[in-house]
Amino acid sequence: MRVAAILCAFLLWQNLAAQEIREYMDLQCHGTMHFPHALFHQNLLYFDPANPPKLSYSHTLTNVNYANYWEDNKGVRIILNGALVPELWTTRWEARKSILEQLKYVNDFAAKYPDKFVVARTPKEVRHYVSTTNKTVIVHCIEGAERLVYNQADACFWADQGIAFMTLIHLIDCRFGGAATLPMIPTKLINFRGSFRSIFHPNTTKGLTEEGRKAIVWLANAGIMTDITHMSPQTRADVLAFMDEKGIPPLSTHESFQPIQNNTRALTPEQILLIYRLGGLVSLPIAISEYNPYPEYQARIDALPNFCPGSIDSYKFTYEIVDSIIRSYSEAILGKPFNELTEAQKVLLSIGFQTDFNGWTDHERPRYGPEGCYPIEPGVAYTALDTQGMAHPGMLHEHWQWLEKEGVDLNPIKRSSERFLQMWELFMEKRGSF
């Protein structure tokens, strides 16, 4: 009887672990930003609900990752918490120590509130906790791998900590390759090496290095995905070609779309096609604005009757364009038009989202009021998102509710949690064989 009971429990676990999920998954949030950057106040603390903090959508350098907003959040069930280290004047050993402290902080936080939070270290654990509990599920990831991965042993060490993916290159050119430098002055100053090269040697660009190639393979062989976000155009092109050669699916967690956000970090339609052809996943940031769009897209924006730049309108416009493009690629990728695909096949063309809360960025401005585009009219009922903008993670459900009312199909986003887990499972199954 005891053996039979154990067998039944095991089969139940296997069944739950295999269930497909459709949950909002934030592909990168920063709940430990106060470790690498003391300018931020401590994250993941509870505030008195009777006296909530006064927050604005313009919250760079302000803590918005309060525990109140992470628990029972209808706008995000699974959170990929991105640990990172300062990229200047940090040694290899300081970097490892800082990341371990951040992982411990999140693990301890979840252990302190076990009825609300849990850390999942494998895709099977994510499926289990989503299927059997109401907890917010936290998964570890790392943004910036330069000082963390020097050999296969390093990659395996981080896999043992439960790291799902690493963003290979972050804000500055490094031994792995070149970082994208956005037009804003702060990003040019941070990546002074890349800026110097673009000014004085405009015909030379830093691409993927031999060390970068090794790191991608080391990570894959440890079961860790490589995030191609933040790469310079040449490095990203090199990485995609290398991943194609090695059969390694690419993950892009928070790049925008070049025809609308025309900058060096944004993905082209051709790169999006390649990512999905290689079995990868594209995720869009919700903090998104137009930047010198291609004339075709600027004309489409100008023709919209109500469009507030920098608000949720910007996300809606970009998301629907990218979704339509990915659907148009369905036949090239899967051999069938999108409307003939099964639900399982549609999962392969999912689109993720990333908030980057506490990641040096502001979020969606309000559509109404002094900081919005339209005046507040007496007698009209407005949501907090309408008049305040995206001030903190607790408002994510309003983001999705507004899009649903606008008739936006959110299924590609809901499917992305399943697609992410499928990719992670593939990496873990193929450990040591890339």
Predicted confidence at residue 18, as pLDDT, reads 58
Predicted confidence at residue 377, as pLDDT, reads 95
Residue 119's beta-bridge partner residues? 138
**Exposed/middle/buried for residue 3 (C-beta within 10 Å: 0-12, 13-18, 19+):** exposed
Report residue 340: phi and psi, to 5°: -105, 0
Predicted confidence at residue 159, as pLDDT, reads 98
Q: What would the pLDDT profile of 265-293 be if each residue is shown by its tens digit?
A: 999 999 999 999 999 999 999 999 999 99
Report residue 3: phi and psi, to 5°: -65, -40
pLDDT mean across residues, the chain:
92
Q: Judge contact between 255 and 232, C-beta under 8 A.
A: no
Q: Are strands 78-83 and 25-29 parallel, antiparallel or unpaired?
A: parallel
Q: For residues 142-168, give the mean pLDDT.
A: 98
Residue 185 pLDDT exceeds 60: no
> Residue 190 — very low, low, confident or very high, per pLDDT cuts 50/70/90?
low
Which segment, 10-14, 198-202, 328-332, is predicted with the most confidence on average? 328-332
Out of 42-56, 176-190, 243-257, pick the least confident: 176-190
Residue 223 pLDDT exceeds 80: yes
Q: Among 189, 162, 194, which residue's Cα sits nearest to residue 178? A: 194
Burial 347-370 (b: 16+ CB within 10 A, else e): bbbbbbbbbbbbbeebbbbbbbbe
Q: What would the pLDDT profile of 40-90 be if each residue is shown by its tens digit?
A: 999 999 999 999 999 999 999 999 999 999 999 999 999 999 999 988 889
Predicted confidence at residue 86, as pLDDT, reads 87
Residue 281's H or E segment, with its range, is: strand 281-285
CA distances from 2 to 7, 10, 12, 207, 353 (A): 9, 12, 15, 59, 45
Q: What would the pLDDT profile of 351-393 be if each residue is shown by its tens digit?
A: 999 999 999 999 999 999 999 999 999 999 999 999 999 999 9
Residues 6 or more apart from 139 whose CB is under 8 A from it?
A: 78, 79, 80, 81, 119, 120, 121, 126, 162, 164
For residues 239 and 196, the model is more confident at: 239
Which pTM was predicted?
0.93
- Domains of the chain (ranges plus CATH)? 23-429 (3.20.20.140)
Residue 346 pLDDT exceeds 70: yes
Predicted confidence at residue 140, as pLDDT, reads 99
In which residue are the tokens 């064989």 written?
A: 433
Interaxial angle between packed helices 123-132 and 2-18, expressed in degrees from 0 to 180 and rounded to the nearest 10: 100
Q: Judge contact between 238 and 177, C-beta under 8 A.
A: yes
State the alpha helices, DSSP H only, in 175-251: 185-190, 192-200, 210-222, 233-246
Residues 6 or more apart from 245 whose CB is under 8 A from it?
A: none
> Residue 4 — very low, low, confident or very high, per pLDDT cuts 50/70/90?
very low
Q: How far apart are the first and last CA of the chain?
A: 43
Residue 10 pLDDT exceeds 80: no
